[in-house]
Amino acid sequence: MPLCKHFFPDSQASRLIPSSQPIDFGDIYVVRGSIALPILELFKGDQTMKTAFSQKTQDDYESYPHLNKARPAIIVKTRPKDNLIGGWHPPIWYMATFQNTSEYRSLPRLYKHFLMAVNSRALHRQSPNEDRHIHTLPEWRGSSQQWVLALEYTPPANYWGSGRWESPGDEIGDPLTHYAVDAGLLQKARGYAEEQLNKYMVDTPRRLKLEMRDEFFRHLRERKKENASHLNHFSQTSDLFNCMRIRLVSSNKVWQMDT
């Protein structure tokens, strides 16, 4: 199949951006968070969808940054010329991966409405719908399909990491690299994202909006249960390990006394 029209000839070249260079439009930075946060923010901006529960859920996410994983995020605003030094916390698009195709298929419709594929080197020959994917420079590395939630969100100041997202060198000889999205391509993607937002805000009937909102919250509750189960399993495993370690130490002490 032919290469998609978004493919850049020099997109394989690794690039390291000096830490002294301010982040700007198209850069990919380390930001804590969940892809649930932009959806919750969307509810806040739609009075017909906002509820006390949705506000509390967002407050809970934003109050506990340690509960949100560090993930790559695309800067989707141009840096002001009068702010070249110091803290600047612009709106971003969160990036994410899913464990497998089955997990992606089970995602709530609200996620799928705003998700765009990030085309990796392994996938760029598939020529997917051009409006539904973007490329990074260099092409994104990784064994799992990367996605971006094309819905703006401005994270709290304490969610921001300390640098640009980077991939380490690999076995095929690629050195460490930072990533960015071509400004022209990102502008086109933003145009698509605005269309999707308008379809949701204006064209989607309220009844369907309510269905999608309820589906989204069911998904969050299921994920919360899964995370609690994993945490409980980890705690039990840790307790078992500590118990075995105590027994081993006690056995050693008895052996030393016998000798």
* Domain boundary, last residue among 204, 222, 244: 204
What is the structure's pLDDT at 62? 79
pLDDT of 72-87, one tens digit each? Answer: 999 999 998 887 666 7
* Closest residue by Cα to residue 164 from 70, 37, 38, 66: 70
| Two structure tokens written together for 102 | 């089955």
| Two structure tokens written together for 54 | 């949705």
Query: Is 3 inside a domain boundary?
Result: no
Query: Is 6 inside a domain boundary?
Result: no
| Two structure tokens written together for 109 | 């419709």
Spatial CB neighbours of 138, under 8 Å, sequence gap ≥ 6: 11, 12, 13, 14, 15, 177, 179
pLDDT of 19-51, one tens digit each? Answer: 778 889 999 999 999 999 999 999 888 877 777
Query: Is 55 inside a domain boundary?
Result: yes
Q: What is the average per-residue pLDDT within 149-171?
A: 86
pLDDT at position 67 over 80? no
* Domain boundary, last residue among 204, 224, 249: 204
CA distances in angstroms from 160 to 19, 28, 154, 179, 223, listed in the order given? 15, 12, 10, 17, 24
* Residue for token pair 């790559």: 72
CA distance 175 to 23: 21
Domain count, the chain: 2
Q: What is the average per-residue pLDDT within 137-149?
A: 87
pLDDT bracket for residue 257 (50, 70, 90): very low
**What single DSSP character describes residue 99?**
S
Spatial CB neighbours of 159, under 8 Å, sequence gap ≥ 6: 31, 32, 33, 62, 65, 68
Q: Are residues 109 and 125 in the same domain?
A: yes
Q: Are residues 211 and 194 in the same domain?
A: no
Half-sphere exposure of 44 (CA within 13 A, CB side): 13
Mean pLDDT (the chain) is 79
Q: Are residues 106 and 211 in the same domain?
A: no
Query: Is 253 inside a domain boundary?
Result: yes
Query: Is 211 inside a domain boundary?
Result: yes
Task: Name the least confident of 25-39, 116-130, 151-165, 228-242.
Answer: 228-242
Q: Are residues 95 and 144 in the same domain?
A: yes
Q: Are residues 153 and 248 in the same domain?
A: no
Query: Is 111 inside a domain boundary?
Result: yes
Q: Are residues 135 and 113 in the same domain?
A: yes
Q: Are residues 195 and 74 in the same domain?
A: yes
Q: Are residues 182 and 227 in the same domain?
A: no
* Closest residue by Cα to residue 14 from 165, 179, 127: 179
Query: Is 12 inside a domain boundary?
Result: no
pLDDT bracket for residue 231 (50, 70, 90): very low
Q: Are residues 163 and 259 in the same domain?
A: no
Q: What is the average per-residue pLDDT within 180-185?
A: 92
Query: Is 37 inside a domain boundary?
Result: yes
- Considering the chain, what percentage of its residues have pLDDT values greater than 70? 73
Q: What is the DSSP string of 174-225?
A: PPPEE-B--HHHHHHHHHHHHHHHHIIIIIS-HHHHHHHHHHHHHHHHHHHH
The helix/strand/coil state of 254 is helix
pLDDT at position 206 over 80? yes
The helix/strand/coil state of 27 is strand
CA distance 233 to 120: 34
pLDDT bracket for residue 121 (50, 70, 90): low
Q: What burial letters (b/e) apply to 217-246, b meaning 16+ CB within 10 Å? A: bebbeeeeeeeeeeeeeeeeeeeeeeeeee
The answer to whether the bond into 138 is cis (omega within 30° of 0) is yes
Q: What is the average per-residue pLDDT within 114-130?
A: 64
19-24: long-range contacts (C-beta < 8 A, 24 or more apart)? 19/163, 22/79, 22/84, 22/85, 22/88, 23/75, 23/79, 23/88, 23/164, 24/75, 24/78, 24/79
Q: Which domain holds residue 222?
A: 207-259
Q: Are residues 92 and 190 in the same domain?
A: yes
* Domain boundary, last residue among 204, 220, 249: 204
Q: Are residues 145 and 43 in the same domain?
A: yes
Q: Are residues 166 and 218 in the same domain?
A: no
